């Protein structure tokens, strides 16, 4: 087991996105909410294009349009005018003001500016400068800002909180399906299953009908407990709820594969005092049957995994369950916790795993060449698989060179079946399943 650290002082082809993009995705999962980016035009145009390509949805991001004058005199005037314009034209329930490099560098007091605005809309500041962290950090900061600003103790409920992280609409629908089978009510933070994969109906509503409501966010302070499916992207919120409102928390592993999904269902079962139903046990059996079906096609194949920290570590455990070897497990987000998670997998499974944290795509490419893997699992930017003539399975964000990825699930037992098919077919298409 090794951990590689880059010796370069420059980044070549970054392996992560900026904080505001993660914060925007979190806000887009809130009902009748608008993300207002306090920055220059590119800070909204680039993320909108990326969301449009990945989710195939008409994502709308508001912007305060800071220019040269704001860099000198501050952007308070732009921000106040933007909030008033959005409120009068769109009538949102929430406006989340997302900071950028420019607004943080010039020192705009976002919190103070918003406190002086008297409008019938919830205003939540989210501090997400792009020069630190990544999109994962931005998502985590955004969800924590939502609960710290809106959560309110009113009395105990029979619900649980689940922060889902940077998963896809299909993943959240699968999570909600499993909870429905268990007859468990949950506050999903935040729910993009109907906002970033909305049905097309005419006349088109001002806002999609789905998303986590402000009432649900407020109610998170009263729940039986909180579970973070992705501790790096949502762990901050459940930790806040535990410290501030004494809501029990579980920082679990992303439920990818058999063991991690078992752990999630057991955690939910303990929080609500209800057993795991037979229907989910049947789904588990189908996943195991699918894994056995492809065993001879995938066994002992070496895999390189590149994704957000929680997805990467969850995927590493699953490919081991398939009988494959997770040779490289990498993420573009620097995280000591990620290293510990993968080291634990390596010690439990006996695999020699090269761990890359905070790496760029050049570093990933060099590691793949040196290790000689059979399969690369990464987002669209993992096109290095073509250069190295190895199989390529697309996971993570963004995926825009294939259709429908955002609608499929990778979590739970059904998500595991999808991954089995994806991995085996990727190897078969490459002609390397002898």
pLDDT at 383: 81
Confidence grade of residue 7 (pLDDT, cut at 50, 70, 90): low
Residue 287 backbone phi and psi in degrees, to 5: -65, -45
**Which residues contact residue 73 at a Cβ distance below 8 angstroms, ignoring those fewer than 6 apart?**
none
Q: What's the CATH code, domain 160-277?
A: 3.40.50.1980
Rg of the chain over CA atoms, in angstroms?
A: 22
pLDDT at 201: 86
Identical fold for domains 19-132 and 160-277, yes or no, is: yes
Residue 151 near residue 161 (C-beta atoms within 8 A): no
In the numeric block, which tokens belong to residue 335?
């995280």
- What is the CA angle 100-106-109, rounded to 5? 80
- Domain 279-429, CATH 3.40.50.1980 — does that match? yes
Residue 23 near residue 98 (C-beta atoms within 8 A): yes
Percentage of residues in the chain having pLDDT higher than 90: 88
CA distance 63 to 254: 33
Burial classification of residue 314, based on how many CB atoms lie within 10 Å of its CB (0-12 exposed, 13-18 middle, 19 or more buried): buried
Confidence grade of residue 325 (pLDDT, cut at 50, 70, 90): very high
Residue 35 backbone phi and psi in degrees, to 5: -80, 125
Mean pLDDT, rounded, for 196-206: 90
CA distance 342 to 33: 36
Alpha-carbon distances of 105 from 19, 98, 344, 353, rounded to whole Å: 15, 14, 39, 39
pLDDT at 4: 59
pLDDT at 1: 57
Burial classification of residue 361, based on how many CB atoms lie within 10 Å of its CB (0-12 exposed, 13-18 middle, 19 or more buried): buried
Alpha-carbon distances of 94 from 24, 27, 141, 152, rounded to whole Å: 13, 9, 17, 16
pLDDT of 414 over the 70 cut = yes
User: Whole-model pTM?
Assistant: 0.96
Confidence grade of residue 319 (pLDDT, cut at 50, 70, 90): very high
In the numeric block, which tokens belong to residue 16?
């992560």
Mean pLDDT, rounded, of the chain: 94
pLDDT at 188: 98
Q: 65-83, pLDDT tens digit by residue?
A: 998 888 788 899 999 999 9
pLDDT at 255: 98
pLDDT at 70: 80
Assign a CATH topology to domain 19-132: Rossmann fold (3.40.50)
Residue 146 near residue 93 (C-beta atoms within 8 A): no
Q: Where are the domains of the chain?
A: 19-132, 160-277, 279-429
CA distance 200 to 69: 41
Residue 387 near residue 359 (C-beta atoms within 8 A): no
Beta bridge partners of 256: 412
């Amino acid at each position: 087991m090794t951990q590689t650290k880059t010796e370069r002082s420059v980044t070549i082809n970054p392996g992560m996105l900026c904080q505001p993009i993660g914060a925007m995705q979190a806000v887009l999962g809130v009902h009748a909410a608008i993300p207002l980016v306090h920055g220059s035009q590119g800070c909204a145009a680039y993320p909108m294009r990326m969301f449009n390509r990945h989710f195939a949805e008409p994502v709308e991001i508001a912007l305060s349009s800071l220019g040269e004058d704001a860099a000198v005199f501050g952007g308070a005037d732009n921000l106040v005018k933007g909030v008033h314009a959005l409120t009068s034209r769109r009538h949102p329930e929430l406006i989340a003001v997302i900071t950028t490099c420019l607004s943080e560098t010039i020192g705009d007091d976002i919190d103070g500016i918003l406190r002086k605005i008297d409008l019938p809309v919830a205003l939540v500041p989210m501090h997400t400068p792009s020069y630190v962290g990544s999109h994962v950090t931005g998502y985590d900061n955004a969800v924590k800002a939502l609960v710290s600003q809106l959560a309110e103790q009113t009395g105990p409920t029979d619900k649980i909180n689940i922060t889902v992280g940077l998963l896809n609409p299909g993943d959240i629908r699968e999570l909600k399906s499993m909870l429905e089978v268990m007859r468990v009510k949950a506050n999903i933070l935040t729910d993009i299953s109907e906002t970033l994969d909305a049905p097309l109906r005419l006349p088109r509503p001002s806002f999609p009908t789905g998303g986590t409501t402000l009432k649900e966010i407020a109610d998170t302070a009263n729940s039986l407990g909180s579970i973070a499916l992705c501790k790096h992207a949502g762990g901050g919120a459940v930790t806040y709820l535990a410290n501030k409102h004494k809501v029990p928390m579980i920082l679990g592993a992303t439920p990818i594969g058999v063991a991690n999904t078992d752990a999630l269902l057991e955690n939910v079962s303990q929080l609500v005092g209800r057993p795991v139903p037979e229907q989910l046990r049947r789904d588990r059996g189908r996943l195991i049957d699918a894994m056995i079906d492809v065993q001879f096609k995938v066994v002992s194949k070496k895999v390189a995994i590149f994704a957000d920290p929680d997805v990467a570590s969850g995927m590493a455990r699953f490919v081991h369950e398939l009988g494959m070897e997770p040779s490289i497990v990498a993420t573009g987000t620097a995280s000591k916790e990620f290293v510990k998670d993968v080291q634990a997998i390596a010690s439990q499974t006996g695999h020699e795993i090269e761990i890359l944290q905070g790496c760029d795509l050049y570093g990933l490419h060099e590691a793949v060449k040196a290790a000689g893997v059979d399969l690369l699992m990464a987002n669209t930017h993992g096109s290095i698989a073509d250069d190295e003539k190895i199989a390529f399975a697309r996971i993570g964000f963004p995926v825009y060179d294939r259709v429908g990825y955002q609608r499929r699930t990778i979590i739970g037992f059904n998500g595991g079946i999808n991954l089995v098919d994806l991995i085996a077919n990727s190897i078969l298409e490459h002609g390397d399943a002898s």
